[in-house]
Structure formats: C-alpha cells, structure tokens
Amino acid sequence: MIDALFGSKTRVKLLHLFLNNPGKSFYVREITRLIDEQINSVRRELANMVTVGIVTSDNANNKLYYTVDQRYEHYVPLRAIFSDETVHSNQSTESAGGWESLFHDLADARLVVASGVLVKGSMGPVDVLVVGDVAKAQLGKVVKEIEKRVGREVNYSVLTQAEFYYRLSVRDKFISQLLGGKYRIVVDTDGMLEKEKEK
C-alpha cells in the first residue's frame, strides 16, 4: 500500500533507508546493495529526492554521497511514517514540549538565540547559539533532550561573551547571518541584543 501511495518501490526503500539513518551518508553502489534494487532505478529516484529537497548530495573521495536533509520541512512527518522508531509528528518544532525552558536552567548561559530548525521560516547557520561559560556536559544533555522532543538533530555553537562581542563588533559573517535572519531570543540575562538594537 505504501508503494502505491509513494509511487515507487525503490523510492519507499530509499525513504526507509535514509529516515532510519539520519546523519549517515551513503554512496550509490552501497545503496543498491542495501536496498537490493537496480542502479538505474536508484539513481533516478535519488535525483528526484535531491530535487524535492529531502536528500542532499556531496562529493567526497571521488564518490557522490547522499544523506537525508533533517532541515527539510516535512522531515518529521516522513520520519514518523518510515522510521522503525516511534516518532511523534503531532507537534510542530516550535511547540514541541517547551524546549525553551530547558535553557533557563543552563548555568552561566548569558544569551541563547534559537534559529534554524527551531524557528519556523529561519534559515540560520545554526539552530542554537549559546553565549557564556557553560558546562559542555550540561549543554550536551539539554541539546539531546531538545533533539528528542523535536525529532531531529540540533546544531549548536558556543561562544564566550568576549568572543560574541568581538564577532559582533567586526560584523562577523556567522553572527551577521544569524541576526540578519529570523531568530528567537530564549535567554538574554544582560540584555546583550537589546543593547545592540539601541546602537
């Protein structure tokens, strides 16, 4: 029935492979062995999936590798259909279980900015920017919990206050990209971004 719904047995097998292995890359011949389909059929479906945006491709070691794009807007509902694990697709990323509150208990976080997959319509370079002297182990736990709640990988970056202010002052590309797009301030204990807006 799923084959009929999605139009192709090869496409269904590819979706099953990619959505059960987020973050893992595969090359064409490896894929044909894993899903037991003809190489021409696999290549055709991969081209379609890249065009749609569910899969991305990248060259490495003279091989073309394919991986699922976890930032694809329908990633979570598709994963709920094809993944062997239980995935909750009934919540949007933004409302998934109050993930923002997890950052309020993060000791020494002076500023936390959400973007990317955590903010609808954002194309930010990371999903979370944390500014402050935070404990890596504690931040790792928070990020893992958020990933569990939103059903996808969360990319984050950590800067000290001095690094953040310096990069802000020199109009660093990363900071400009983040603050030039759509974002949400989750924590701003010192009003860092409010002060910046007033300048």
Angle ∠(125,72,77) on CA atoms, nearest 5: 135
Kind of pairing between the strands at 55-60 and 63-68: antiparallel
User: What is the reported pLDDT for 80?
Assistant: 80
Tally Cβ neighbours within 10 Å of residue 127: 26
Query: pLDDT at residue 106 above 80?
Result: yes
Residue 49 tokens read as 């999936």
Residue 1 clears pLDDT 50, i.e. is over it: no
Q: Look at the chain and count its residues.
A: 199
Q: Which residues of 9-34 are buried (b: 16+ CB within 10 A; e: fewer)?
A: ebbbbbbbbbbeebeebbebeebbee
Q: Which CATH number fits domain 93-198: 3.30.70, 3.30.460, 3.40.50, 3.40.390?
A: 3.30.460
Of the candidate CATH numbers 1.20.1050.10, 1.10.10.10, 1.10.1370.30, 1.10.760.10, the domain formed by 2-82 belongs to 1.10.10.10
- Write down the pLDDT at residue 117: 82
Average pLDDT estimate for 138-148:
88
Query: What is the overall mean pLDDT for the chain?
Result: 83
pLDDT value of residue 4: 52
Domain ranges for the chain: 2-82, 93-198
pLDDT in tens, 157-188: 999 999 999 999 999 999 999 999 889 899 99
Q: Which pLDDT score, from 0 to 100, does residue 32 have?
A: 94
